[in-house]
């Protein structure tokens, strides 16, 4: 795949993730993706891709907020 196409795919993935989180919240969005992708791929790589660009503090705060609102 060419680099421009990969960038488009990343952009679509990020937009989709943001949309899922906005509509479902981070916990339900994560559950959806886990159920949707169960048994295929490398989950560690997928999780890293979803949280790319976020610091550990940002991830922690997001998950903590989601747990409180769950």
DSSP letters, the chain, are --HHHHHHHHHHHHHHHHHHHHHH-HHHHHHHHHHHHTTSS-HHHHHHHHHTT--HHHHHHHHHHHHHH-
Residue among 29, 2, 31 at smallest CA distance from 15:
29
Mean pLDDT of the chain: 78
pTM score, two decimals?
A: 0.45
Question: Mind listing the pLDDT tens digit for each residue in 39-51?
Answer: 666 777 877 888 8
Share of residues in the chain with pLDDT > 90 (%): 7
Region 25-46 average pLDDT: 77
Residue 9: its pLDDT value, please?
A: 78
């Amino acid at each position: 795949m060419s680099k421009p196409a990969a960038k488009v795919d990343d952009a679509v993935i990020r937009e989709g993730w943001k949309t899922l989180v906005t509509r479902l919240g981070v916990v339900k969005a994560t559950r959806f993706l886990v159920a949707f992708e169960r048994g295929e791929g490398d989950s560690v790589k997928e999780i890293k891709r979803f949280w790319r660009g976020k610091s550990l503090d940002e991830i922690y705060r997001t998950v903590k907020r989601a747990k409180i609102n769950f």
